[in-house]
Amino acid sequence: MSPAQGSRRRATHGEKCELRRISRQLCKLHRIDAMLDINPDIVCYLIQLARAFHVQETVSIPEEPLNSSDDWAMQVLAGHAGDPTYQEFIIAVRDLEPDQQANLVALMWIGREEYGPEEWNTALRRAAGEMTRHTAEYLIAKPYLAEYLEEGLQQLGYSCSE
């Protein structure tokens, strides 16, 4: 590998899959899954709502912010405030206790590989420290939220298909 290419190589898909499998086994061995402080059935319900919302043709949310404003998600979502699925998702998340909302955010971060399952406590502390009254909007603004939450659950040894 030349210096121009950098010293790190990207993992192949097969290597990533193997790492995920090993991480799931470690979670079971270290009982990380027992630290999830939100009922997985609630997470699965929110996954269904997120999928139903994001599958609509009128919903177009970029993965990256359009500008550096902290309220970019609120601006993008403003046009969907009357959508019943959007409203149901927002109400469901706001009805959760703050620690459960932090669990959702940390779970999403695990699912999008910002943290590994062995870093659950670190992700959870960060999520709790960054909580705002707009957590529901922060979550639903992620176009791949359903996939991230589902992957996060799997990383911690849970499944929506059980």
Query: Among 47, 16, 1, 8, which residue's Cα sits nearest to residue 158?
Result: 47
Q: What is the pLDDT of residue 154?
A: 94
pLDDT tens, residue by residue, 85-114: 989 999 999 999 999 999 999 999 999 999
Looking at the 3D structure of the chain, how many domains does it have? 1
> What would the 3-class secondary structure string for 60-120 be?
CCCCCCCCCCCCHHHHHHHHHCCCHHHHHHHHHHHCCCHHHHHHHHHHHHHHCCCCCHHHH
Domain assignment present for 88 = yes
Is 76 contained in some domain? yes
Establish if 1 belongs to a structural domain. no
Q: Provide the domain limits for residue 107.
A: 10-155
- Domain membership flag for residue 120: yes
Q: What is the tens place of the pLDDT at every residue in 70-87?
A: 554 554 555 566 778 989
Return the minimum-mean-pLDDT range out of 23-32, 101-110, 111-120, 130-139.
Answer: 23-32
User: Has residue 148 been placed in a domain?
Assistant: yes
Domain presence at residue 128: yes
